[in-house]
Structure 1
Amino acid sequence: MAGKSRGEQRTGLLNGFAAYGMWGLVPLFWPLMKPAGAVEILAHRMAWSLAVVGILLLVMRRWSWAGELLRQPRKLGLITVAAAVITVNWGVYIWAVNSGHVVEASLGYFINPLVTIAMGVLLLKERLRPVQWAAVGVGAAAVLVLTIGYGQPPWISLCLAFSFATYGLVKKKVNLGGLESLAAESAIQFLPALAYLLWLGSRGDATFAAQGPGHAALLAATGVVTAVPLICFGAAAIRVPLSTLGLLQYMAPVFQFLLGILYFHEAMPAERWAGFALVWLALSLLTFDALRAARRGARALREAARAAGAATAAVDTVPVPGGVAGVVGVAAGTAGAVAGAAVSAGPAGSPGTS
């Protein structure tokens, strides 16, 4: 990111705030669509998302990926899995918000980084640093405390966290751009969504036409609400460091949590505060560890650059057996060793590489 101008980084930061701000305020949007039920809202979101991203991709003339995707059955299968998992995530979230569980939904996105790390250990055999292990342990204790507080496991939070972590894992293997991926997933979702809406209409239970043009416009706007934050996130991701994005991601659940308490007036007894406090402690540990790992990585790269520069300068001043090639080989070996140490520390915000 060193090559990015301050203007570009400022633009990226504003886009990041916009993306996570919109995701954080989205609980205000879903109740506006009542009396539509959660499944009807979900079906409209899937259908209108395809329309919105389709228009955007047509305007930008970004369709070459579609033919390549159709020729790769394995990647197409992964996209199908991603579409199924995000459908569950969207549906549970919409139902939770419209049923008075905004705080519990926010918890799902607070614990999502912890679930992602746990899945990395279990499925990808990644190694964790000690602080990351501590964070996962504190997170597990938080879930236990919240289970006691709610009188049952916080299944909404767990469903949102595990579905989104699974979605992220699948998306990592697919390696498609944000808009392209949303278009492919929405294309898979479209026919089931359309079939459900037609069935609902045939029963006389659809609200799209029955509740007036304002209600219909709100249902159609679900596609915009889905696409616009994703566009802002994409603009931020190419302009600001990943460590900055990692910190910004907490904006969304913080906003949702505050909305749940201050706007929707959801109950927060002492045991729930205790559970949330443990979650925030776990996230603080993760953030501290990620920033420390990022600093170590940056320091190691600077040392590698200095070592390479010193070895290059020595070529002009000190005769070395083996000639210039020998000096360059020694310098390359030194730089490689230091850079390797940086990589072994793991990238910021993620478990160490195995």
Structure 2
Amino acid sequence: MNAGIIYGLLAYLAWGLLPLFWKTFISVSSGEILGHRVVWSFVFVALLLLIGGRWKALKSAFSERKNVLPMIGCSLLISLNWLIYIWAVNHDRVVETSLGYYINPLISVLLGVCFLGERLRVVQWAAMALATAGVTVLTFSYGSVPWISLALALSFGVYGLVKKKMHLEPMVSLAGETVVVLPVAAVYLLVVGMTGQSTTSSLSADYQLLLALSGVATAMPLLWFAQAAQRLSLTTVGFLQYLAPTISLILGVALYDEPFTTVHLISFCLIWSALLLFTLSSLKGRLAMRATGTGVQKG
């Protein structure tokens, strides 16, 4: 369990600190950063699969028809999520990204209710209502829907829903998802390079190397998360997941001087209350199920 907590902390710390990494390339277009992220993620993950003798697993994943469409769907959704996140970070919207990832667990629950037939308790519906109120407060404050937060939450939520259709290990799944968009990313980078529109050509060798490490920055947290998920209960993982958006929120306000007004505070408090209420309700439900299960076995 101690190892699981360490892996979980590493994963969510890395995800929370990602704005620091992407801010390094503030002069580079979001499209080019995404292109490099896709290419170098594939290179790094393919190398790991090769070293681990798992290359055949990737070929096998594409040979099964049931995996192809979900893989394509996951690839498009995660690419959209990455693009919006990178764009938001480099346009001083880190606070909005943190809001998106606070909302994400509740969006995932709502998708489970709508598409997987899962049921919620009254308290959990109340949590959903609180979160909705939080988003509504921001909407009226902005005069428009906080699209960055909702787009990040929805794209990652649907991504998780689609991934339930596949039963692949994380590295094989990520490799497959990058394979789908790899040709598009490679052609895009080639075109902007040949037409003189590249914003990475002026980067120094050090920054070019750092950009190549985006593959490592993408894959390693996923590996750590997979290790944590195997060792820890869902409840523990659920608590740890709030670490990433909290770090991003602190970075946005304290380091990048993004505005955090009274309206932001009210909205975030409503969403934090919703997350706390939902998590405690889920924990109580799991403990009750465990107690019931133990009783049945003893009887």
Fold-level match, TM-score > 0.5? yes
| Structure 1: distance between partners of 2:40 and 2:159 | 21
| Structure 2: distance between partners of 1:192 and 1:48 | 14
Q: CA deviation at 1:66?
A: 2.3
- Are the counterparts in 1 of residues 104 and 154 from structure 2 also a CA contact under 8 Å? yes
| Structure 2: distance between partners of 1:120 and 1:242 | 16
Q: Which of 56, 67, 84 is 2:76 aligned to?
A: 84
- What is the DSSP-based 3-state SS (H/G/I as helix, E as strand, rest coil) of the residue aligned with 1:100? coil
Alignment of 1:271 with 2:271, yes or no, is no
Q: CA deviation at 1:121?
A: 2.0
Q: Which of 40, 48, 54 is 1:56 aligned to?
A: 48
Paired residues, what number? 299
- Are the counterparts in 1 of residues 46 and 175 from structure 2 also a CA contact under 8 Å? yes
| Structure 2: distance between partners of 1:94 and 1:163 | 14
| Structure 1: distance between partners of 2:203 and 2:63 | 43
**Which structure is richer in relative contact order (CA contacts within 8 A, separation 6 or more)?**
2
Partner of 1:35: 27
- What is the DSSP-based 3-state SS (H/G/I as helix, E as strand, rest coil) of the residue aligned with 1:207? coil
Partner of 1:139: 131
Counterpart amino acid of residue 262 in structure 1: A
| Structure 1: distance between partners of 2:217 and 2:30 | 16
Q: Which runs of 4+ in 1 moved over 4 A?
A: none
Counterpart amino acid of residue 285 in structure 2: A
Counterpart amino acid of residue 71 in structure 1: S
| Structure 2: distance between partners of 1:235 and 1:140 | 33
Partner of 2:90: 98
- What is the DSSP-based 3-state SS (H/G/I as helix, E as strand, rest coil) of the residue aligned with 1:238? helix
Q: Deviations over 1:279-334 (max 9, x none)?
A: 00110111111110111111112111211xxxxxxxxxxxxxxxxxxxxxxxxxxx
State the structure with more CA Rg. Answer: 1
Partner of 2:153: 161
Counterpart amino acid of residue 95 in structure 1: W
Give unpaired runs (5+ residues) of structure 2: none
Q: CA deviation at 1:34?
A: 2.8
Partner of 2:244: 252
- Are the counterparts in 2 of residues 100 and 266 from structure 1 also a CA contact under 8 Å? yes
Give unpaired runs (5+ residues) of structure 1: 1-8, 308-354
Partner of 1:261: 253
Q: CA deviation at 1:189?
A: 1.4
- Are the counterparts in 1 of residues 58 and 175 from structure 2 also a CA contact under 8 Å? no
- Are the counterparts in 1 of residues 11 and 225 from structure 2 also a CA contact under 8 Å? yes
- Are the counterparts in 2 of residues 25 and 255 from structure 1 also a CA contact under 8 Å? yes
Q: CA deviation at 1:209?
A: 3.5
After superposition, residues 106-185 of structure 1 pair within 5 angstroms as: 106-185=98-177
| Structure 1: distance between partners of 2:193 and 2:36 | 13
- What is the DSSP-based 3-state SS (H/G/I as helix, E as strand, rest coil) of the residue aligned with 2:89? helix
Q: CA deviation at 1:176?
A: 1.1
| Structure 2: distance between partners of 1:303 and 1:156 | 47
TM-score, normalised with respect to structure 2: 0.97
Q: Deviations over 1:165-202 (max 9, x none)?
A: 00000011112111111000011111000010001001
| Structure 2: distance between partners of 1:152 and 1:88 | 21
- What is the DSSP-based 3-state SS (H/G/I as helix, E as strand, rest coil) of the residue aligned with 2:236? helix
Alignment of 1:72 with 2:64, yes or no, is yes
Q: Deviations over 1:14-53 (max 9, x none)?
A: 0110000100111111010131111110110000000000
Q: CA deviation at 1:67?
A: 3.1
RMSD: 1.1
Partner of 2:14: 22
- Are the counterparts in 2 of residues 86 and 167 from structure 1 also a CA contact under 8 Å? yes
- Are the counterparts in 2 of residues 208 and 219 from structure 1 also a CA contact under 8 Å? no
| Structure 1: distance between partners of 2:59 and 2:171 | 16
**Percent identity among equivalent residues?**
41
